[in-house]
Each structure stands twice: as structure tokens, then as C-alpha cells.
Chains A and B, each alone.
Chain A
Amino acid sequence: MDNIIDISGLSKEYSGKKVVDGLNLSVEQGELFGFLGPNGAGKTTTIRILTTLTKPTSGTVLINGIDAAKDPGKVKEVFGVVQQHLSLNRDLTIGENLELHARLHHIEAAERKKRIADLLDYVELSDHRDYLIDDVSGGMKRRAMIARALLHRPKLLFLDEPTVGLDAQTRRRVWDLIRRMNREGATVFLTTHYIEEAEALCQRVGVLHHGKLIAIGSPLELRQTLGLVAVELQGDGNGTTYRYFPDRAQASKFIQDLPSSERVIMRASNLEDVFIELTGQKVTGD
């Protein structure tokens, strides 16, 4: 009963094509959950359903125990979202975009002012508060969207590729921010194509492929199912092949038996290995 998200039998069809296919998934209160999957897997569609923007073809969604289809108004008070695409009003300044959001969430004037100033400070946009959206860089827009999503202190945060297009420092800063929000009690539901981001942040990840959940567990658990040690064989001509082993001893034994001409790298496996093995394709950025 401590699940903040409960998805059962969720499907979404677009002109007969199943984009989300019988999804069952629960996320516990306080979790930092990573939702991975190749382009077109259905991650954004799932988030749009969870945030009441899209109606599912079938299945139910409970957010904080409330049926999203029956009482969308209540559900909207629970979450905050950073959408994958830009969704700022480009006729307004950064500050005005935040203020509109705060007003629509009924935050009263004095508190509104304070929170906006604090958050802009945190995402280092204080100097750009009065800039129109078109006059700031892509990364700044993204940071403004993150600040906006946090304004009403949601219990549940959906972050759909929140760090796309951010420089390395800013990305780390956003990671810190996400961890901080999570420590302070917010549940985070994050999608990303940077697998190392999921590995660094998430306690649990789920992998979506063609609308179906094909794996779920902690990064370590998922690596264990594959093997904690990876061996890369860089053969000539036919690209690199990968083999996985439960421990170094077995990996070493495998390498000793190889012809000496092969170039070999032994390393710890990572979540990206798991992802590629599961989805059968390299993740393409963006």
C-alpha cells in the first residue's frame, strides 16, 4: 500500500499499433526509479498517461492510491513533470513561466516569490530571470523546466530525459538536485539514455522494449543476471564481441583458452551491457 505508482495492464494503441503493451509496474514511495528503453519504446507515452495528458486504451493507473482516470484533479496535485520536449511559454520570461506555474498551483504571493528566487538560484538562473525563453541557451531552458517542476514541491517527480543537452558540470548539479529531492522525500521516476546516469542515481531500474517491461531490478541485480565481469574481444573485421562471467576466475580461464592473437579487455560489467544484451541494440543518444 506504500506504492506511489501502481500500473496494471496498461496499454496504449496508436492506430492499431501497441505502443505500451500490458505494462504492470509499481514504484514505492521514496524510490528513485529509472525507466530505460530504446527510442520509441514507449517511455514518454507511459509518462504522458501517468500525468493524465494521454488516455490509455486499457488498464489502470493509481497515483498515490488515486485512480488517474477517475480523479485526475487530485492526481495533478501529487506530481511534477519535466517533459522530454521543451514546454515553456516562449512569449514569457523565465521568471514569468515559473510564476504562472506557481499561481496555477495556488502558492500564495510571498511564498511564491521566495521559492522562485531560491530555485532560480539553485539552477543558477538568477541572472536570467527576466530573459525571454528564446534569448537563453538550450541548457538554461532545461534548467528552467526543472526549477518549474520543483516549485510546488511535488511528492512524485517525473523526469523525462532531464539532462539531455546539459554540459557535464550542470548534469552533475542536476544529479545532486535529483538526489536531494529524493532525500527530502520525493519519489523520482526518471527516463534517460545515459545509462551511467541511471546507474549513478537509481535504486531500481526497469527496461521497456516495444512497450513491454522486459527487466526490472537494482542495477546490481541486473548485472548479476548477466555476469559481473565482462570480456571484450576486439576481433579484426567483425567488430567487438562481448562475453559475460559471474566472476574474474571464470573470465580469466576463458581468456587463457583463447588464441593469443585476440585483443582482449577484461572489466566490470555495467548497466549499459545489460541494456544492450536485453534490447539487442546500442542506445542512440537523444
Chain B
Amino acid sequence: MIDAYSILWSDLAALKRRWPRYLLTTLMSPVLYLVAFGWGLGRGINMNGTSYLEFVIPGIIALTSMTTSFNGAGTRLNVDRLYFKSFDECLMAPVGLPSLLLGKALIGVVRGVLSSVAFLLVAMLIAPHIHISLPFVIGLLLSCLTFAFLGVLAALLARSHEDMATFGSLILMPMTFLGGTFFSLSQVPFGLKMALYALPLTHASLFLRAAALDQPLPWTSFLVLMGFFFAFLGGGMMALKRMSV
């Protein structure tokens, strides 16, 4: 555990040097989504009694936690491994592989939480009714953890920087627009709905939305997200074990 913290410590040291710029860039896309979809497109729309704005904000938070956690962990590790080659040094240190994996994922969680909270603060200016409860916080953490480990897994499998970009556009991009962020799943045809339920972001959105709007919590979604978390964790362990070729 202490080893995982050591790795996080180094990633935090790097983040500290440029956090104002970091916050600014990370807030850009969620705020744009908020303005374009929440204010622009969805102004008059009503979703089963809630305004579209209140509907979309928790979705954007789930989305933010996904992108920033994924990139925060994945892109960092990718650069460390393939560009700086400094990940080799971690591999040669007397540190257990689980600690190494967790250490590399933690910076993604930190970045994901920072960005989500920053966006939440902005969003609360516009929609003060968002309900921040304990389940909401736990859901957000789980979402950050899940996508941080997905980022680590992708970075361990990638053989080049392009691989990482490919992963982003093949996996993250579709989730961004289809993962229950911008529309309700009850409106889509059955087949598509089933496909969308296979995406982890869908479940993060469903859970965070219910928690934020003080609706009954979809615990199945929570469990499914947890399943994804363990799958990515296990995948990461396997990738790390086989890594040296």
C-alpha cells in the first residue's frame, strides 16, 4: 500500500506544478456540453418531471469522471512507459505488482474526482437542486476507480501512442455519446438499449443520476459497475504479469 502511495506521490508532484492549467482544460468540455445540451438544446424539454438541465448534469459528471480518470491514469502511464521509459524503473523496484497497478491507477482517481467536483461546483451555480448524498459520492468514486483501471489496462496493452488514441476513439468516444449521458435509455429501441447496457458508463450515469435527483437507487447498476471494476483490475494484473517480452 505504501508503495502505491509512493507512486501516487510522484504523479501528484507532477500535477501540482500545473494544476490551474489542468483544471481549466479539464473543465472545458463538460462546461461546453452543459451549455450546448443543457442550455441550448434542452431548454424546453421536460424529462418525467425534471428539467433537462437537471437530467443532464449528473450524466455529464459521470462522463467527466470517465474521461478524466481514464486519461489521467492511462495517458500518464502510456507516456511513462513508452516515452519517458521511467516505468521500467518502477518495474525494477522491489514493489509488488498489485501495488504498482494501484499506484498507477490512483492518479486517475484523483484527477477524476478533482475534475468532477470542479464541474459540479460550476453546475451548482446554474442548477442548485443537485442532491449530493453519500451514495452519490460512493458512485462517483467507483466510477473514477473503474475508468482509471481501464486506463491503466489500455496503457499496459498499448504498443504505441497511436494505440492509445485508437482505444479512445473506439471505446471512449461511443460511450461519451451513448452512455446514458444525454438521453434517457427508456426512449431507445430494445436492441440498442441492450447494447447500451453493456457499457460501463451507462451504469455510472444511471446511478449518479438517480442519486443526484434523489430517486430510488439502481443498485444493479452499481453492482454491474463494480463488476467492470474487477474485470479491469484483473485484466490489468494479467497485462502487467505478461508485460515483459
Contact = CB atoms under 8 A, between A and B. Distances in A.
- Chains A and B come from one and the same complex: yes
Interface of A: 51-55, 73-74, 76-77, 79, 81, 83, 85-92, 96-97, 99-101, 103-106, 148
B85 A86 contact: yes
Contact of A53 (B7, B9, B91): B91
Q: Is the interface of B mostly helix, strand, loop or mixed?
A: helix
B194 to A, nearest CB: 41
Contact of A81 (B9, B92, B245): B92
Contacts, number: 75
B89 A101 contact: yes
Interface in B1-37: 2-3, 6-7, 9-10, 13-14, 17
A87 B85 contact: yes
Nearest to A87: B85
A82 to B, nearest CB: 11
Contact of A105 (B10, B93, B96): B93
Contacts of A52: 91-92, 244
A77 B92 CA distance: 9
Contact of B93 (A55, A76, A86): A76
B129 to A, nearest CB: 40
B95 interface: yes
A100 B85 contact: no
Contact of B92 (A53, A55, A89): A53
A89 B94 contact: no
Nearest to B76: A91
Contacts of A99: 10
Interface in B143-179: none
Chain B: number of interface residues, binned into ranges:
20 to 34
Given A90-B84, A91-B14, A100 B9 contact: yes
A281 to B, nearest CB: 28
Contacts of A85: 85
A97 B222 CA distance: 39
B91 A104 contact: no
B5 to A, nearest CB: 8
Nearest to B6: A103
B214 interface: no
Nearest to B89: A87
A89 B89 CA distance: 9
A92 B244 contact: no
Interface of B: 2-3, 6-7, 9-10, 13-14, 17, 80, 84-86, 88-96, 244-245
Given A88-B86, A89-B84, A91-B14, A55 B95 contact: no
A200 to B, nearest CB: 28
A51 B86 CA distance: 15
Contact of A54 (B3, B13, B95, B245): B245
A79 B80 CA distance: 22
B92 A92 contact: no
Given A87-B88, A89-B80, A76 B9 contact: no
Contacts of B89: 87, 89, 100-101, 104, 148
A55 B6 CA distance: 26
A1 B168 CA distance: 52
B84 A53 contact: no
Given A55-B245, A76-B92, 5 more contacts: A52-B92, A87-B88, A100-B7, A100-B89, A148-B89
A89 B95 CA distance: 18
